[in-house]
Structures are given as C-alpha cells and as structure tokens.
Chain A
Amino acid sequence: MARVYNWQIRREMSYWYPESRPKRQFAAVFDTNKCIACQTCTLACKTTWTSGKGQEYMLWNNVETKPYGFYPLAWDVNLLEKLGTQSWDGERYTGRTIFEAAQAGERVLGWRPEDIDYANPNVGEDDCVNGVEKGAHFSGVHNAWFFYLARICNHCTYPACLASCPRGSIYKRQEDGIVLIDQGRCRGYQECVKACPYKKTFYNTMTGTSEKCIACFPKIELGLQPQCFANCIGKIRFAGWISKPEQARADNPIDFLVHVKRVALPLFPQFGLEPNVYYIPPLNVPREFLLQMFGPNVDAAIEAYRNAPNDKDLAGLLTLFGSTDRIVTKWKRIDEQMLGYDEGGKEIVRVPVREPAHVRQAFDAARGVARTNVS
C-alpha cells in the first residue's frame, strides 16, 4: 500500500498504487435539481454501448430515485453498513476509506452483487419518504421527499476497480483520466465488480470479462461530450476537465463550479476514491442524508446554488449546461451573455445569462376573454 493525497477528504490515505494523476482528468457536474428521471441518458448509453449479448442487464448509466432506488439493489447502503461509522472533522475525513478498511486478504472493502440484485433497475422509482396523506396538496414546505440520482462511472482518481484487479487489467488513461478495462486481458474474476463502491463495473457472462462505462472516449477524443450528456433532456450535465484544487483555473467551467463556487460535490467522498462526477445536491432533501452522500460541504453548496439568481457567473454557467454537444474548456461572461470556448480558444457557444421570458397576462383585454393554456 502506498500513501497518496486525496483532496476530497483533505488527507493522505492508503492506496494500492502510488499517486499518479493523469495529464488531465475527465470530470462532470450533474445538477440533481434539474433531473426528471426520463432515462433518456440511460437509453442513449444502452443503445450506443450495451446492446450486445451478455450486456442485457447492464446500465453503464442509470438514474435511480433516492433514497429507495438502487441499481444494483442496495449498492450504497450495503457498503455504508460495512464501512461503519464515517466521521468528519470539518472538511477532513477521520473515518476509514474502503482501502483502509479492507479485510485481511483483500485489497478493497467491497461486496459482490448477484444477478438478482440487478433484476429491478428502477426499484423504488418515485417512492418518497413519508406517506402522502389523502387530499394533501403543496402549500409551501412539505416533508415528503425524494430525488433523482443519475449515475455513471466516476472515473475516479483512485479507482477501486483498478486497485482490486489482481491482473492489472484495468488502467487509467494518462491523456484524460478515463478508467478502462482491457478487454483483451481481463479474465472475469469480478474483483472489480466487488470493489467498485458505485457498482459501475459489470460482469459479461457471454464474453467472460467485466465491462464498464468508457466515458464515450471516442467522442471525448473529438472534443465532444459523451452520449448521456448530449442526449440529456433536462440539461443537467456538463462535461469537462478538473484540476487539483491548488491548480484550479477560475475560467475552467468545472474548476469554477467545484473549486471556486464549490456548488458541486463528489458522491460519497468518504469511500476515498476521489470520484470525478460532481453533484449539485438537491435542495429539498434532509441535510443529514445529503451530508452522508456528498460530504461536509453540502450546506455551502446549497447556499451557493440558491444564490445563483444573484450570481451572474454561476447563473450563466448553469445555463451553459446542455447548450452544446462540444466540451467547453473555458468560459467568459460579457454582461448578460455567457460564452463557451473549446480547447483551441474558439467560441463554440453563447447563451444569455438568463433565458428571456415573456409572461402573458391571464386576461386578454383586447378580446375581453380569460386566457387558458390552450388559447
């Protein structure tokens, strides 16, 4: 075991290999508040990558309803229970990561789902916490809650799948930090399936190998966002590149959202993988739940997000989500417009900080009639 630094938990930790960060790291921000669980992302991925034999059950991208939705069943709560108490001292995680909590003989603390655990990918869909009384209607704050959590592979800085593979069949690309399973070398031991806390590696019964989300690397190489991003109806996703906190560039959209505004947070940072998909936490969920899921900066992230109407830079960046299928590596705001640039410094998208809106009056004075939605 080597000692590596994980900035998400603000401390050194044990990892199977020494620290070796890629030249640049693929990253993404998902705005959970905008997801409607239409599963268009799921299908975009499914039809692109997992239509083969043995891949029938695989969803490299999935959207689940939290807290009762899981794919595979109980993927997060199973591990949380195994890991035991997870304590933070401010922003420093003082509990054990899954590498530090590995049982004797193992490289990573994990568990291995069976086929039945994948059998109901949308179990818990739209089930909310607390019953809704008959006749209840929305009149402000309500206590019933759920939210949609869209998930892909996190292309972690310290991947558990990579650490666990006894054959070294999993590698992290130096050029973009994307984590891949070498399909020529894998022998289907499923150690990665057991180790990945997010359960984003899958065993293919027909090829006898394990497979996973490849972040649509052929698209990334062309400067395009992955399929699940480009097809997102709710425009909740934004792909790009993330720097280490001390090297953050304010004009890099991902750095700005994660490091400067700190509005987007990693999923279960306490596991210790330094995952690279960042979530803007949902507003309507009890903080205790969010603290466990996204770490100790939830309050600040929600506050920053709520302040977006007064923060033109943040509002503009959120409007860039889903506005182009290309990867925006740099942004600039000119008054009420937000501009996105590609790697060559070429402008590829320009959006208003606030979408223009026209409100029609409920009563049409010219015709002397009340307007309805169909008029």
Chain B
Amino acid sequence: MGCRTQQMEQSLQQPYVILSRRRRISVFEILHFVQDDIRTVRFFLTSVIILSLVLAGCGEKGPPVSESEVRAVFEKTIPSNLDDKAWEQIPVHHAKLLLQDMVEPRLMQASTAFVDVQSVTDGQKIIFRLSWNDQTLDDVPGPGRFGDAVAVQLPATPTPDVPAPQMGENGKPVEITYWSAILQAIVNGRKDDIQAIYPYANVGHYPFEAAPLKQGSATQQEMAKRYAPARSLENPMSGPRTVPVQDLIAEGPGTLRAAEKILSNGSGKHSQAGWTVVIVRPFPSGVQLGGRTQVAFAVWEGSHQEVGAKKMRTAWIPLSLGSSK
C-alpha cells in the first residue's frame, strides 16, 4: 500500500480513533461511522482505478480522425467484420446528427448526437463502420415499438449539383442502404414468428397450417401467402429476412422504394457503449477509385419512437474514395 496518501491513512484510522475517544456509543452511531468510512475508502479506490485506466488508455493510440470528410481508405481486402483489427488504423469521421425537422412527421426532440464513421473500399465494394451511443437495445417489433436502425445514403449518380440531402429529389435519386436491429436479431437466429416475440402466445389454429395441408408444401405456402398480403406483394418489409439490410432508392421524402435487388449486406452489435454496425454496399457507380462523391447518414433510436421520417440525420458529407490512411 505504498501509494496510500497521508489523508487516506488518516481516514482508515479515523473510526478507531473516534471509537476510542467515546466511551458510550449507540449501535446506530457505530454503523454510521463505519458507513462513512467505507464511502471514503471506496471513493479513493475508485479514483485510483479511474486514473490508472485513463493513464493506461493514453498509452493506446486510437484511430486517426478525419475532420472534414469521410475517407474510404483503399485496401486490397475490406475488413471482414466489425471487430476486425484493421479498423484501428482507419480514420474516423465524427458526423454530427441533425433533427429531421424539414418534413412532417418531424422529429422535434434530438436524441443521438453523433455517429462515428469509418470506411474502406477495395474498388468493388465499400464498407462503412458506424458506431453511435445508444443505451437501449431495441430490436423487437410490435404495436408502438420500433427498432434501432441506421442508413447510408449516396447520390445514385454523382453530379456537380448533388441531390437534396434529405432523401434526394425528383430526377435526382439517392441510393440508401438501411440496416435494422430487428432484421439483425432475426438474422442472428431469433425465430421469425409470433412466439419469439410473445413467448406465451397461444394460437389455436392457423387455417393455412391445418390438416390435411402438408407443412412446407407448395400448396401450403401458397395458402399461407393469402393470409399475409404484404408478402404476396413481395413487400421487402415482410421478408424474407435473410440479411439485416435493405437496398432502397428515393427521389424525395415519401418516395422510398426497394431497389431491384439487395446487393448490400451488414451486421451490427450492441454493447453498453451503443451500436456498432458495418454496412457493405457496391462501390458507388459513376465514380472512379480516387474520386469523390457525397455521403449522408441517418440514425433511428427505437426507444425514442423514431421511425421513418422521425430520425436524426446528417447533411451531405464529402466522401473520398480510395484515399490513403
């Protein structure tokens, strides 16, 4: 205990001194003194631990910071997952999030303040690693319940006058890759049925699963679709939920539609610090490696009832493609 200060030594000895000075003392008073003393020791030890952690942290070098742009660093191979060591060398852009308060329904109260963005490209694909603070894990859908989500937006074709940053504009489409915590949970193995969300749900009968229909047969599948019209119409919201992302196109608020194919992928992980998500999408069309375009991001905080237009979003941020670290 060489690091003990004089003050600490005193505080450790103090109760005994006091007790020895007082001949008559109640049990409650003893407890009070002991508690006081424990608090003092706890405070000191906590301070020591925090200080040592800070000092230890100073020794580690974090990723470099890119202040004015998102720098998609060229690598022959893009990082394979969100925990890849390679990310430690990739510049971070600290993107400020703004309220979506331009079109109704607007978000009136700010939630997520920043999203940290890193990016790597191999010339074929571009990967974004996005992390933001979110204390609550929201990945269960339901009435009045929304999932956490994040999206990356790029102009569909790079032009000198970029589309409006909020969902593009008529004649100037934007490409959006949308990652959802709800989809991620299903991809991670949560069964895509009602019992996975409501474990005590007791359903007596689904007509499309009743005998003599053979489970999984073409007839049975066809009949099941009739009870899920959104699925019959191939609405991407209704599955199949095999990847945690959707590729979308928009030409202004309210015009979001599914791209012909889902070409992107991603994955996300929640921790106490919040979400870390990677989104891999095709290299932006119409731009060469070494060129530049724009990128924008949006974050939805499910527990804050954020969905659709109610979101935190960035303005366009310059994106350099294939820059060095």
Chain A residues with a Cβ under 8 A of chain B: 51-57, 104-107, 112-115, 117-118, 164, 166-168, 183-191, 193, 202-209, 211
Q: Cβ of A106 and Cβ of B105 under 8 Å apart?
A: yes
Given contacts A183-B233, A185-B235, A205-B141, contact A168 B193 (CB under 8 A): no
CA distance in complex: A184, B205 (Å): 26
Given contacts A183-B235, A208-B141, contact A52 B228 (CB under 8 A): yes
Q: Does B172 contact A (CB under 8 A)?
A: no
Q: Cβ of A206 and Cβ of B145 under 8 Å apart?
A: no
Q: Cβ of B193 and Cβ of A53 under 8 Å apart?
A: yes
Q: Cβ of B228 and Cβ of A189 under 8 Å apart?
A: no
CA distance in complex: A117, B254 (Å): 29
CA distance in complex: A148, B153 (Å): 51
Interface string of B193-217 (1 = CB under 8 A from A): 1100110010101111000000000
Q: Which residues of A contact B201 (CB under 8 A)?
A: 56
Q: Which residues of A contact B305 (CB under 8 A)?
A: 112
Tell me the nearest residue of chain A to B232, going by C-beta. Answer: A183
CA distance in complex: A183, B238 (Å): 10
CA distance in complex: A242, B309 (Å): 36
Q: Cβ of A191 and Cβ of B105 under 8 Å apart?
A: yes
Q: Cβ of A187 and Cβ of B143 under 8 Å apart?
A: no
Given contacts A53-B194, A118-B143, contact A186 B235 (CB under 8 A): yes
Selected from B193, B227, B238, the residue in CB contact (under 8 A) with A55 is B227
Q: Does B237 contact A (CB under 8 A)?
A: yes
CA distance in complex: A104, B106 (Å): 8
**CB proximity of B200 to chain A, nearest CB, Å:** 11
Interface string of B220-255 (1 = CB under 8 A from A): 000010011111111101110000000000000110
CA distance in complex: A114, B237 (Å): 20
In this complex, the interface size class of chain B, counting residues with CB under 8 Å from chain A, is 35 or more
Chain B residues with a Cβ under 8 A of chain A: 101, 103-108, 141-146, 192-194, 197-198, 201, 203, 205-208, 224, 227-235, 237-239, 253-254, 256, 305, 307-309
Closest 8 CB pairs of A and B: A52-B227, A208-B237, A105-B106, A184-B233, A189-B308, A114-B144, A207-B230, A207-B238
Q: Cβ of A206 and Cβ of B203 under 8 Å apart?
A: no
CA distance in complex: A208, B253 (Å): 20
CA distance in complex: A53, B206 (Å): 8
Q: Cβ of A209 and Cβ of B308 under 8 Å apart?
A: no
Q: Which residues of B contact A211 (CB under 8 A)?
A: 229
